Amino acid sequence: MSDASTARAIEALAAAIGDKVYIDVAKWHLYLGDAKLHTPLAERLYPLVTGDAVTESAVAEVLAGTPIAIGGGSKTVPLADLIPAGSKADLLDAIADYQRDL
């Protein structure tokens, strides 16, 4: 796969998750697309998607390994700690929909 087609595929995956998955901070829902986190997450998830290695535990591992800077960068929190269970289920659904459309 060429770099251009890989970039387009990652953009499509980012679009698929950007408006469906959110972080929850003090009961405020901030969608990953609005937070500009959808593309970095899609870049980390893309190898799983193309390698047919998408499992709940694999996605959880990616989320746990994705640090998010808070407080102007004074601290980092794993993305897994910011996404509630329902939104994680939405993420898995969005990935499954993306895979079906490939």
Q: What is the pLDDT of residues 75-94, one digit of tens each?
A: 999 999 999 999 999 999 99
**Which domain does 86 fall in, by range?**
3-101
Gap between the Cα atoms of 42 and 12, Å rounded: 9
Gap between the Cα atoms of 77 and 65, Å rounded: 10
Total domains in the fold of the chain: 1
Q: What is the pTM of this model?
A: 0.91
Q: How far is CA 92 from CA 10, 21, 32, 81, 99, in A?
A: 16, 10, 14, 16, 11
The pLDDT value given to residue 1: 53
CB-based contact 37:79 (threshold 8 Å): yes
